[in-house]
Structure 1
Amino acid sequence: MTNLKTVLGVAVLGVVSFVHAERVDFDGCCATWGDGRLTVGNTLFERTWAAGGTGLVPVSFLLKNPDIEWVADSSRKAKASGTLAVKAMIDRRSIVGAEGLHLEITVEGRAVQKTSLWLFPKASGVLIEQNGKGGSVAGAETLMLAPLHLRVTEVTLMDQTDKHNELVSEREWLLMPNEKSFDVQGCVLGAENVIDNSGLVFLKLAPLPHARQNKEEVDFHVAPAKRSIDSFFNGYPVAVLGYCGGHTGRTRALHAFQRCLREYRPARDGLFLSNTWGDRSRDARINEAFLLKEVEAGAALGVDVVQIDDGWQKGRSANSASARGKGVWNGYWAADPDFWDADPVRFPNGLEPVVSAARDRGMKFGLWFGPDSSNDAENWRKDADHLLKLHHEMGIDYFKIDSMKTHNAESLRCQRAMFDRMLEGADGAMVFDLDVTAEIRPGYFGMPDIGPLFVENRYTDSHRYWPHQTLRNLWMLSQTVDPLRLRMEILNNMRNADKYKGDPLAPALYRPDTLFAMVMMSCPLGWFEVSNLSTEYTNQMQPLVSTWKAERSRMHSGSIFPVGEAPDGVAWTGFISSAVDGTGGYALLFRELNASAEYKLDLSGYTAPVRHATILGGRGTARLADSVLSVNVPENLDFVWVKLD
């Protein structure tokens, strides 16, 4: 037996390889192999494969505490018919990810198959990357499932949010032997035992189907008569995660795994970022004097990161107020080798004065940037090195990534290399908000480790913003996507109030602190000119922002779940954050437009037993009785935020 912890001192760059070992352990993770069988696991699960003639054959998937076997008896009897070679190391999938066991496996039988497995201490399953073709279905893993009564759920996600607003939908099958086999396209598929609410969830780390080069490829195949699920790799990794506790358990497993790919750092992640583009002046007002006002106003409101959108640079994009249809939206380096220098007219002293002003007030700084997608992103090194220079020379860490086009697999490869170069060059300090509002891009799970997703462009100017719709998108997405991977917007709801006359859900009817509360379980985006906010707006929002900043590290580090009904303008809805140490958490509950001031939430299944409910924000009362939290919010379109301990 070899324990990885005992030999870290001789590791090179933190990686240790074992070619002949039969067992390795790391931080609660364990891998053993011998006689053609491989077993991996941690405190949450254990999986076993046999070396088959054409690759690894699953023979067991055991959930722990309580022990529940998910692989059918017929598969568990499989015997090894090939040979197995394993190389194990402590590694990270990227510099921002958690450490785990990384196994490189070669199976030799009738064919040779190479597979990578990633095992993390806090993940309830493994991530599988298949580097060769093998198995009864080329490029697939087949799981024969033990439970008789299965509910299979296809989760369909939608990006290109400029044209779509219903971003999540689900389809369910209660499997019957006479059901015809069917294919599923998508990144997420669940299989749940309706008897005990345990399950498996399959997560493919890939762009959404419409954004892939091969738009017809199948992701999963379900055979009800055999109770089997095939996961097709098609060049992408697939994680299979176990869970207990029904829908909440599925969300917990998905979120925990995503935080293995990108660890939560309180000083870097979940921060309040402002961006002036939401007030629709576009780049017309961007200059040094205006940005210095933004810094002052941002400091007064409690903003963490001041970001300049399109317009700080010398070149003019197609979205510029002065472009008049002649701006650039691709091929930036060819259009002007100095395109990405600071505009010498708008910023005659460069960006340093505004960056320094933000730093002096305890804030960070960010910029808009459009990677060059021409010729399959061949200029990715130029893009990466330019942003790294801004990071190293001025400490600019936050970048909104827009205009990027992922045309094909080569584009995706180059764009992945670009982000890796920057993350590694900045030791993980740079944060990229990948815009998913338009174009063909990696989407929700194509690059889950680079930073939050910029989810929406909504404007009151075009009568396309309602607070309850933004809350709905966060609530729906957070069932699958970790909320800390979502950048969600708040607007200046005093603008364009005349466009919403007579609307009972008009933005102007919400208090500013309620607008902030709606997105504070995610990465809040102040989609406005901070210097254009009224004193009343700032005074109403700032106290909640201050309290949130004091509590957010504990709240964001917990497991965050949507609770209540899906927001639709008239529901009781909200979120629970269950503390990572199991000692309470937070409840954030919203009364939309409805007649009931009272709401009860059963906390069992979300948090350990708690004794105290302390109101941190909003307006109302809260009391605890056994495991039930009862709140009273007197007014519609309002909220209450409660600390549980």
Structure 2
Amino acid sequence: MINLNRKLCILFCFAALSILITDKAFSAAVEDVKTCYATLNNDELTLGNSVISRTYKWNNGDLISASITDKKDKFTWQLSGSTPDCLFPGTGKAIDGNLQTRFVPSNASTPSYLAVSVTVRFNQLEVRRVFRIYPDCPAIACDFYLRGNIKAQWLTSIKQAGELRNIENNAAAKEGTAQATVMETLALPGKHWRLKAVEFFDITDRNNNLVQDYDQILYRGESKVRGNLLYASEILSDRSIFILKEAPTSDVQLAYPGFDYIAKFGSLQCVGIGLTPADLDSVKWTKCYGVVTGLSAGGEAGRLRALRNYQQRIRIHKPLRDDMVMMNTWGDRAQDSHISEKFILKDLVAAHRLGISHFQIDDGWQSGRSSNSALPGGSLNSIWSNPNYWKPDPQKFPNGLDPIVQLGKKLGIEICLWFNPSQDSSYTHWKDDAAALINLYKHYGICTFKIDGVQIVDKKGEVNFRRTLDSVMTVTNNEVVFNLDVTAGRRNGYHYFNEYGNIFLENRYTDWGNYYPHFTLRNLWQLSRYVPPQNLQIEFLNNSRNTDKYAPNDLLAPAKLSFDYGFALTMMAQPLAWMEATGLPETAFTSANNIKKYRGIQTAIHSGMIFPIGNEPSGTSWTGFQSSIGNKGYLLIIRENNNEKTSWLSTWLPGGRIVTLTSVLGDGKSYVTTTEPSGRLKCQLAVPNSYALYQYEIN
């Protein structure tokens, strides 16, 4: 611990740390992190790396932002705040400010970074901010931890705008101000800023519109906006600042004040830390929601790339572990009625024929019967009253899962499982859940688990649920992948718990007539602007089933499209074959060559930054995606049901450049073209409901 009651300068000491690191694999990571630093001199704290720098008035650890610098653009915003960036209502003056720095080495799932810990005490409440600084990343993340106790109200009822007085003086202008915890404050200079807040929605069993943008300009009165993401862009330049609230979606956050940001002339604030004073522990630190602040230049492309640069730092993407074409049989709605050793062995052979890399046995493999079983009497309550709940059902699997795993290895298919942690008493059985998962890993080598049925109703539940995942990651050397389901309940959304794996996005079924390929494509297309598609499992179905559930004249019905087209819509994400392979018609297996060829380039596609191109999918659009890796990459061009054989698609390619497009999959032909000044690209597909995957190079 370092005493900061005197002037000093703290620099990260890499030479001393390197002596402690014996694994040669860490050496490159150490070199990268050398560009990250934290200095404290003359009561000014500076954090930064090669592309971003942020200075604070130390203020005895109760930091006040002073400036933020874009080193690449060589521009500094001077911030005029006079009060601390963070606010916890009911606290007094800050004392005992303390600074610590440490190098966090990389592991199998997390890259290396510099951790800068600032701890301060307000009477009986301690606040710790841990800044994460990654090399060459234009954003700095901040994780919050609280400890102690405080008698205060952190949420107040907010008057509606119509209940407030007209503004004739500054006092009236301050009416309606919310009392809520504040995690970040930026006192932006000037008045000419355009805001874009982005709200996300999960609970996808009920929601099919997952992204909502709100555009505003700053004004003197407070604007309270919802959303995990806020962009503030200078109207008179192409520079921007973004704030990402690392929390569940706004609808399901804990201790939610009703909004995520407060904006007015000279101030942006990110609010709602995700707990109340009643959730505090006087001894243990409680992790709260976090905030990431970054900057960019270059308009919208720069804004999106800056955010994606940070998002790609959260979890290391390992091709053999994280890239998958997974099959899960639940999509055919037999539920657990088919699950048995005999059925799974047969379905594995068919899945291998199709080109599947991962086969996930959903609910029904275990001895305990869940409430979603096709058989009556199941429950997900009091799971641990049955100590054998998470052992293979001896009736369905008399030999355990060994024959399944052995055949999977022979066929080159990884066996994966479904798991539903026990919700009882805010996940009080987290140790038992972790032990069950670890046992499956050790006994059968299961490395990928779909985590379903999560319901986070309080902070204690969130803490215990995280303990389950952390325990498993520790024992398995961070090699496990969790498919975190966001289809129902109070879960963690798109910007929280991202270090554990990917996101199982949605349940869609032809049985209920709610699966339309363009619905799924639209959800992926909209999310891909702000969420890495590589982190999303996106489904394609057996479109030959339940044709009677759709009107004969429904031109957008699944059966009107080819099986191969349905698969192609998922290629920029993690494709999920939501079906039983043995239920497929013979014609579906003609896609096997394309699926296998895709698996050979899947890692190359996913190594780029992937963003949407063209128009929003509607069933009748020209649309697609671009994965960019320097001056090369991949373009997925999709012609939906329309009469236009050619179209000019907006892309992220530079304007006025010659581009060579080499056909890889689909119906496109290789060609060379020149982009328009705006970057639009001329594309051609001969028939509706077709696609072309190209590898491109900018000449």
- 1:91 and 2:100 correspond: no
Which of the numbers 191, 202, 220 marks the counterpart of 1:159? Answer: 202
Residues 315-365 of structure 1: CA distance to partner in whole angstroms, max 9, x if unpaired? 111111112xx211232112x221111011111111010111001111111
Shift of 1:112: 7.5
What residue is the counterpart of 1:21 in the other structure? none
Residue type of the alignment partner of 1:187: N
Please say if residues 255 and 482 of structure 1, whose CA atoms lie closer than 8 Å, have aligned partners that are also in contact. yes
Whether the 8 Å CA contact 2:61–2:96 is kept in 1: the answer is no
Matches within 5 A, 1:292-311: 292-311=345-364
In the alignment, which of 155, 170, 183 is matched to residue 140 of structure 1? 183
- The 3 A distance-change label for structure 1 pair 57 and 419 is same
State whether structure 2 residue 192 is matched by structure 1 residue 149.
yes
Q: Return the offset for 1:587.
A: 0.5
Under a length normalisation based on structure 2, what TM-score does the superposition of the two structures give? 0.84
1:98-497 aligned within 5 A = 98-106=111-119, 114-131=128-145, 139-146=182-189, 148-177=191-220, 180-216=221-257, 218-223=259-264, 225-234=265-274, 235-323=288-376, 326-334=377-385, 336-497=386-547
What's 1:57 paired with? 64
1:19 matched to which residue of 2?
Answer: none
Stretch deviating more after TM superposition (509-518 or 93-102): 93-102
| Structure 1 range deviating more: 255-264 or 619-628 | 619-628
Q: How many residues align?
A: 623
What is the CA–CA distance in structure 2 between the aligned matches of 1:345 and 1:54, rounded to whole Å?
61
Alpha-carbon distance between aligned partners in 1 of 2:656 and 2:464, rounded to the nearest angstrom: 45
User: Structure 2 counterpart of 1:267, which letter?
Assistant: L
Q: Deviations over 1:86-118 (max 9, x none)?
A: 211111698622110001124689998542111
Taking structure 1 as reference, are residues 170 and 237 closer, same or farther at Cα in structure 2, changes over 3 Å only?
same
How far apart are the structure 2 equivalents of 1:459 and 1:383?
30
> Which of 575, 586, 601 is matched with 1:551 structurally?
601
Mark the runs of 5 or more structure 2 residues left unpaired by the alignment.
1-9, 24-30, 86-93, 151-178, 275-287
Q: Tell me which moved more, 349-358 or 139-148.
A: 139-148
1:26-105 equivalent positions in 2, closer than 5 A: 26-52=33-59, 55-72=62-79, 85-91=98-104, 96-105=109-118
Deviates more, 1:458-467 or 1:30-39: 30-39
Separation (CA, whole Å) in 1 of partners of 2:75 and 2:653:
19
Give the match for residue 577 of structure 1: 627
**Does the 8 Å contact 1:587/1:643 carry over to 2?**
yes
Task: Report the Cα distance in structure 1 between the residues aligned to 2:317 and 2:334, rounded to whole angstroms.
Answer: 34
Q: Deviations over 1:605-643 (max 9, x none)?
A: 579966421011111335343345322011111111110
SS of the equivalent of 1:519 reads coil
One-letter code aligned to 1:577 = S
Q: Distance in 2 between matches of 1:486 and 1:150?
A: 33
Relative to structure 1, the CA distance from residue 598 to residue 7 in structure 2 (aligned partners, 3 Å threshold; closer, same or farther) is farther
Name which of structure 1's ranges 297-306 and 204-213 shifts more when overlaid on structure 2.
204-213
Q: Which of 586, 589, 592 pairs up with 2:640?
A: 592
- CA separation in 2, counterparts of 1:93 and 1:214? 33
Deviation, structure 1 residue 243: 1.9
Verify the 8 A CA contact 1:622 1:630 in the aligned structure 2.
Answer: no
Alpha-carbon distance between aligned partners in 1 of 2:422 and 2:81, rounded to the nearest angstrom: 52
- Pick closer, same or farther for the CA change 1:643–1:321 going to 2, 3 Å: same
- Whether the aligned pair in 2 keeps the contact of 1:472 and 1:568 (CA below 8 Å) is yes
SS of the residue aligned with 1:625? strand
2:89 aligned residue: none
CA RMSD of aligned residues (A): 2.8
TM-score by length of 1: 0.90
3-state SS of 2:577 partner: strand
SS at match of 2:319: coil
For the residues of structure 1 that align with 2:327 and 2:612, how far apart are their CA atoms? 25
Structure-1 separation of matches of 2:206 and 2:332? 20
Give the aligned partner of residue 526 of structure 1.
Answer: 577
The answer on 1:613 being equivalent to 2:664 is no
Tell me the alpha carbon deviations over residues 139-174 of structure 1, each in whole angstroms, 9 at most, x when there is no partner.
433101135421111111111111111111111102
Partners of 2:543 and 2:240 in 1: CA distance: 43
SS of the residue corresponding to residue 426 of structure 2 reads helix
* Counterpart amino acid of residue 600 in structure 1: W
Superposition deviation, residue 206 in structure 1: 1.3
Gaps of 5+ in 1: 15-23
What is the aligned partner in structure 2 of residue 17 from structure 1?
none
2:368 counterpart letter in structure 1: G
| Contact 1:219 1:233 (C-alpha < 8 Å) held by counterparts | no
Summarize the Cα distance change of 1:308–1:264 in structure 2 as closer, same or farther, 3 Å threshold. Answer: same
1:189 deviates by 1.5
Q: Does the aligned pair in 1 maintain the 2:61–2:118 contact within 8 Å?
A: no
Structure 2 residue identity aligned to 1:197: D
Query: What letter corresponds to residue 520 of structure 1 in structure 2?
Result: M
Distance in 2 (CA, whole Å) between partners of 1:30 and 1:607 is 37
2:182–2:269 contact (8 Å) kept in structure 1: no
| Structure 1 range deviating more: 408-417 or 474-483 | 474-483
Q: CA deviation at 1:242?
A: 1.2
Given that 2:181 and 2:273 are in contact with CA atoms closer than 8 Å, whether structure 1 keeps it comes out as: no
**Deviation by residue 1:175-221 (Cα, 9 ceiling, x = unmatched):** 244xx212233322111123333212211111223323323354321
Equivalents in 1 of 2:55, 2:612: separation in Å? Answer: 34
1:505 aligns with 2:512: no
In structure 1, C-alpha distance between the alignment counterparts of 2:192 and 2:228, rounded to whole Å: 23
Counterpart contact for 1:94–1:261, Cα < 8 Å: no
Contact 1:314 1:343 in 2 (8 A): yes
Q: How does 1:620-639 map to 2 (within 5 A)?
A: 620-627=668-675, 629-639=681-691
Pick aligned residue for 1:536 from 577, 584, 587: 587
Which deviations, in whole Å up to 9, do the C-alpha atoms of 1:413-434 show, x marking residues without a partner? 0001110111111112111111
In the TM superposition, what is the alpha-carbon distance from 1:593 to its structure 2 partner? 1.6
CA contact (8 A) 1:45 1:124 kept: yes
C-alpha distance in 1 between matches for 2:686 and 2:440: 49
SS in 2 for 1:267: helix
Q: Quick one: distance in 2 between partners of 1:431 and 1:88? A: 30
Aligned to 1:489, what secondary structure does the other structure show?
strand
Tell me, in whole angstroms, the C-alpha distance in 1 between the residues paired with 2:403 and 2:81.
69
Name the SS for the 1:640 alignment partner: strand
* Aligned residue type for 2:563: P
For 1:2 and 1:194, the matched residues in 2 are separated by: 37
Q: Is the 8 A contact 2:640 2:688 kept in 1?
A: yes
Contact in 2 for aligned 1:604/1:627 (Cα 8 Å): no
Hey, what's the Cα distance between the residues in 1 that align with 2:81 and 2:12? Answer: 34
Shift of 1:549: 1.4
Whole-Å separation in 1 of the counterparts to 2:577 and 2:32: 45
Task: Decide whether the 8 Å contact of 1:583 with 1:608 is kept in 2.
Answer: no
Provide the secondary structure at the position in 1 that maps to 2:498: coil
Secondary structure, counterpart of 2:500 in structure 1: coil
Contact 2:362 2:418 in 1 (8 A): yes
